[in-house]
């Protein structure tokens, strides 16, 4: 089960984050608590709980670890795509500084974001990491707290989409749940971007 982090303060401000940025907003903390309660009451076979090491994700995962009585492990491979110098800027600010790069990306080129990673780089990093975590869960559920980019990258790879075609997938919402099942090392998508547990938050 892949869980995107709750709303961060830079999410709320409309800023690119990548591998930088502060932790959760007040709303993000509420989302994390509601998600933890849902997981504790609805997912009975959790054998592993791991998260990206970035603050907005560890702050989301900590209430779940407490509710489930499990240690929280971190894995740097689960980090969001590195957007380099874009971090902390709004899309309008990126457009003002690098209009050609942004136009090329929007046209379908997989350029390094802010001089750092491409979506292909992200997929090559995170997909085997998630498969490895699933394999180490001893038949139980691995709860993997991460970011929207990694969730979409893993699902895109599972569905056989190219890094360009995966754009047909809506960006996962804050604290959304995406479920993959693995059989003989092959992933299948069971649900994507599920947020019903957050109704009323």
Query: Quick check: 137 and 154 in contact, CB under 8 A?
Result: no
**Do β-strands 46-51 and 141-146 pair in parallel, antiparallel, or remain unpaired?**
parallel
CA distance 114 to 19: 12
Residue 50: what are its φ and ψ, rounded to 5°? -135, 150
- Catalytic annotation present for 5: yes
| Identified catalytic residue from 5, 7, 59, 197 | 5
DSSP 88-104: T-BHHHHHHH-HHHHHH
| Identified catalytic residue from 7, 80, 117, 166 | 80
Cα 181 vs. chain centroid, distance in angstroms? 17
- Catalytic annotation present for 29: no
Cα 22 vs. chain centroid, distance in angstroms? 16
Instruction: Report, as residue numbers or ranges, the catalytic residues.
Output: 5, 80
């Amino acid at each position: 089960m892949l869980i995107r982090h709750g709303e961060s303060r830079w999410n709320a401000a409309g800023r690119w984050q990548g591998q930088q940025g502060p932790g959760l907003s007040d709303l993000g903390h509420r989302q994390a608590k509601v998600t933890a309660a849902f997981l504790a009451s609805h997912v009975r076979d959790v054998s592993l709980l791991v998260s990206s090491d970035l603050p907005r994700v560890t702050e989301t995962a900590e209430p779940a670890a407490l509710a489930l009585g499990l240690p929280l492990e971190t894995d740097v491979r689960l980090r969001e795509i590195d957007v380099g110098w874009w971090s902390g800027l709004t899309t309008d600010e990126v457009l003002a500084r690098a209009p050609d790069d942004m136009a090329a990306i929007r046209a379908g080129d997989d350029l390094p974001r802010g001089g750092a990673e491409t979506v292909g780089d992200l997929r090559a990093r995170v997909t085997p990491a998630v498969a490895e975590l699933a394999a180490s869960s001893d038949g139980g559920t691995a709860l993997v707290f991460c970011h929207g980019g990694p969730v979409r990258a893993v699902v895109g790879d599972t569905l056989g989409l190219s890094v360009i075609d995966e754009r047909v997938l809506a960006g996962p919402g804050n604290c959304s749940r995406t479920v993959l099942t693995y059989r003989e090392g092959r992933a299948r998508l069971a649900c994507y971007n599920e947020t019903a547990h957050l109704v009323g938050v």
